[in-house]
Amino acid sequence: MAAPVLVTGAAGFIGHATAHRLLERGETVIGVDIVNDYYDPSLKEARLSTFNGRREFSFHRADIADTEAMAKLVRDNGVTRVIHLAAQAGVRYSIDNPMAYERSNLAGHLSIMEACRHAPGFEHLVYASSSSVYGDKPMGGQGFSEDEPSVDPVSLYAATKRACELMSQSYAKLYGFPQTGLRFFTVYGPWGRPDMAYFSFTNRIMAGQSIEVYGEGKMARDFTYIDDIVTGILGALDHPPEQGGHRVLNIGDSHPVGLMEMISTLESAIGREAVKIMKPMQPGDVTATYADVSKLRELTGYQPKVMLAEGLQRFADWYREYYRVG
């Protein structure tokens, strides 16, 4: 039997979905999450409850920055593959709560790398980066490319993600284990994060409240459905770089959608029109994100399949069922 896969952030949006897909393909999964209160912990607990009865899944409520605990977990279970998704998320939250990012994102990433480098026969560390490392960029062209000469983080959250990429690059060269960083582009779907715009808009529309539309509605995002993201993650996991290699890959839909179009599509999925209050850009936000995914496609055959209208309809249906609203 293959060694178990360690998934950090298993109570989170992407980690939960990734762990389930691994189980579906016959893997044994060890999940780790601290289950903090950045957003409603009951949603995280509900995600974890979906693993009840799965003997191939075990869960450890732990802090990834606890270096000894992570090293022991990896060593005692013979882990040779890690999907590291745990982090303190949120561009706006980082502006007012900077110290939360030092432990989760920086110390946590270093702790996971330390555990991996001491693991016998270690095969591949796949970790979450973010499209926010690119900073701002006008619409047009072929989208953000990993080959661009520089990145320009405009938030502390983005800066910590870029720092993780640099730490991984140095660790790969120093200690010789393969690593892949994935720059996620605006992931959405059922079981999503309540701090994301599409989710918070749904909360307010369902409650008959107005929504605040930042950037005067002129922003655009590369909305990527959760199932497509997980397909890309596992594709990357299954195609490690050479021993000691480190790479960074974009993972997105490669089809930017304007904020007003997203809102209109969400209104159709919900069946209600939103009262919109237009607001200027917030600090740390960027105008547009748009992924060039040619490298991931070449490596794994990655091809997003779920368009925004279908994805938001699935989310709206899940929302009604989970929150028991009409």
**CA atoms of 56 and 22, how far apart (whole Å):** 10
Residues sharing a CB contact under 8 Å with residue 139, sequence separation 6 or more, in sequence order: 220, 256, 287, 288, 290
Residues sharing a CB contact under 8 Å with residue 56, sequence separation 6 or more, in sequence order: 23, 27, 28, 29
Is residue 79 classed as helix, strand or coil in its secondary structure?
A: coil
* From 39, 127, 157, 290, the catalytic residue: 157
157 is catalytic: yes
User: Using an 8 Å Cβ cutoff, are 302 and 232 in contact?
Assistant: yes
User: Using an 8 Å Cβ cutoff, are 154 and 136 in contact?
Assistant: yes
Reading the block at residue 266, the tokens are 């969400």
Short-list 53, 59, 58, CA closest to 35: 59
| Sign of CA pseudo-dihedral 115, 117, 121, 126 | positive
Active-site residue set: 157
